[in-house]
């Protein structure tokens, strides 16, 4: 049988796969700017999540989510499991990197007006992804059940009491047969990853529907770019994988220099540690308002973020045309960062009631 001569000859395996998987379909056009760092931060976050899922599956084989055994099982993971310390550290550091990239991704979307019509719903799906990410970081920090984990759990119980019936799931009384720690572990490895899967599927579907938002110029307006552009999604995907390898290498180097920390087993009632950087900025408000702050501040900030597409309805993308919103957002960000720095410099003060 005669084979047709093509300009770019493909291997037989390539042809076989292409025929069955339609791989050529992923080479659809995308704008060139989609490959630049600011516009690929969401993709970098996604590759980080792949690393988290793979390393997390390994860790779950050795972690025991019983309050009496949890800390000891982490000690065993570090000292007795092949590559256990390294895999745990890569999981820890990738979680830190992913939290940074998801926040930068959100700030990029905010700064470039990428939440505007027709992308408003994807902004809300993104807010759901942010909540899931922070939920994963929080539940993950409790699991090791050292002093920091125990204190996080105590704060968790206090905040749950404040929100009453809505916080019932977080109270130890919710299920008398399964300890709260075990249920937080379930949240960490089943409920939140499942929610992540559903949300990211919706997020990617909507990005494909609308295309990436147009490049920001003084007069650019938000509109669909689906099917437009000088680059191809296959190029974009390769970039994403390249950035994913950089994230992995960074997590690996950090893990070798600074292995993930593990404190002494927790002593209930004591308050001698500080939370991770993603939560420490809540400390000053908690000191002023009590445990209420842990429930109120995230709800207020989430509510403000939810208002963004409703407030800023003009079609223009240029930051110069959206100064009011960006100044308010910048001021809130400065207050959050300043609170975090202040809390990091303060001695640990007991404010659990």
With CB under 6 A as the contact rule, the residue among 106, 152, 317, 343 that binds ligand HEM is: 106
Q: Are 308 and 123 in contact (CB under 8 A)?
A: yes
With CB under 6 A as the contact rule, the residue among 55, 73, 94, 133 that binds ligand HEM is: 133
Tokens of 176: 């008398």
Per DSSP, what are the bridge partners of residue 29?
Answer: 232
Window of 85-93, 124-132, 140-148, 276-284 that interacts with ligand HEM by CB under 6 A: 124-132
Measured CA to CA, the distance from residue 261 to residue 287 in angstroms comes to 26
Per DSSP, what are the bridge partners of residue 232?
Answer: 29
Residues making up the chain, counted from first to last:
353
Q: CA dist 248 to 70, 84, 95, 131, Å?
A: 27, 16, 11, 23
Check residue 41 for interaction with ligand HEM (CB under 6 A): yes
Measured CA to CA, the distance from residue 253 to residue 288 in angstroms comes to 39
Closest CB 50 distance from ligand HEM, rounded Å: 10
Check residue 203 for interaction with ligand HEM (CB under 6 A): yes
Nearer to ligand HEM, 89 or 213 (CB): 213
Nearer to ligand HEM, 128 or 179 (CB): 128
Closest CB 275 distance from ligand HEM, rounded Å: 20
Nearer to ligand HEM, 215 or 274 (CB): 215
Nearer to ligand HEM, 126 or 340 (CB): 126
Measured CA to CA, the distance from residue 70 to residue 52 in angstroms comes to 20
Check residue 294 for interaction with ligand HEM (CB under 6 A): no
Q: Which residue has the tokens 């910048």?
A: 330
Measured CA to CA, the distance from residue 346 to residue 287 in angstroms comes to 12
Check residue 122 for interaction with ligand HEM (CB under 6 A): yes
Check residue 255 for interaction with ligand HEM (CB under 6 A): no
Measured CA to CA, the distance from residue 310 to residue 306 in angstroms comes to 8
Q: Which residue has the tokens 């989609």?
A: 34
With CB under 6 A as the contact rule, the residue among 77, 152, 212, 254 that binds ligand HEM is: 212
Strands (E) across 122-254 are located at 231-232
Window of 99-107, 243-251, 253-261, 344-352 that interacts with ligand HEM by CB under 6 A: 99-107
Check residue 137 for interaction with ligand HEM (CB under 6 A): no
With CB under 6 A as the contact rule, the residue among 33, 39, 143, 248 that binds ligand HEM is: 39
Check residue 283 for interaction with ligand HEM (CB under 6 A): no
Residue 146 main-chain phi, psi, to 5 deg: -90, -170
Measured CA to CA, the distance from residue 223 to residue 252 in angstroms comes to 40
Check residue 45 for interaction with ligand HEM (CB under 6 A): yes
Binding footprint of ligand HEM on the chain (CB under 6 A): 39-43, 45-46, 102, 105-106, 109, 114-115, 119, 122-123, 126-127, 129-130, 133, 200, 203, 207, 212-213
């Amino acid at each position: 049988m005669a084979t047709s001569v093509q300009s770019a000859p493909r291997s037989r395996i390539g042809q076989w796969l292409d025929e069955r998987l339609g791989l050529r379909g992923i080479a659809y056009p995308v704008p060139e700017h989609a490959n630049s760092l600011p516009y690929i931060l969401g993709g970098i976050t996604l590759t980080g999540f792949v690393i988290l899922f793979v390393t997390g599956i390994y860790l779950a084989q050795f972690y025991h989510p019983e309050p009496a055994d949890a800390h000891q099982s982490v000690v065993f993971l570090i000292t007795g499991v092949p590559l256990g310390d390294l895999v745990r550290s890569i999981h820890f550091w990738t979680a830190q990197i992913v939290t940074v990239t998801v926040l930068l991704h959100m700030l990029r979307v905010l700064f470039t007006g990428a939440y505007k019509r027709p992308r408003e719903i994807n902004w809300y799906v993104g807010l759901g992804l942010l909540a899931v990410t922070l939920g994963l970081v929080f539940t993950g920090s409790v699991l090791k059940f050292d002093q920091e984990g125990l204190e996080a759990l105590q704060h968790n119980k206090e905040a749950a009491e404040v929100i009453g019936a809505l916080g019932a799931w977080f109270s130890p009384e919710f299920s008398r047969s399964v300890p709260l720690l075990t249920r937080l572990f379930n949240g960490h490895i089943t409920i939140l990853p499942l929610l992540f899967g559903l949300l990211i599927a919706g997020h990617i579907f909507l990005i494909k529907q609308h295309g990436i938002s147009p490049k920001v110029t003084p007069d650019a307006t938000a509109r669909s770019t689906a099917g437009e552009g000088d680059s191809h999604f296959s190029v974009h995907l390769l970039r994403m994988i390249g950035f994913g390898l950089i994230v992995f290498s960074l997590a690996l180097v950090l893990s070798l220099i600074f292995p993930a920390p593990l404190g002494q087993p927790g002593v209930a009632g004591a308050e001698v540690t500080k939370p991770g950087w993603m939560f420490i900025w809540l400390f000053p408000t908690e000191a002023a308002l009590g445990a209420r702050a842990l429930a109120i501040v995230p709800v207020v900030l989430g509510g403000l973020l939810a208002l963004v597409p409703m407030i800023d309805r003009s079609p223009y993308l240029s930051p110069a045309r959206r100064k009011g919103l960006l100044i308010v957002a910048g001021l809130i960000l400065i207050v959050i960062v300043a609170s975090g720095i202040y809390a990091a410099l303060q001695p640990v003060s007991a404010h659990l009631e």
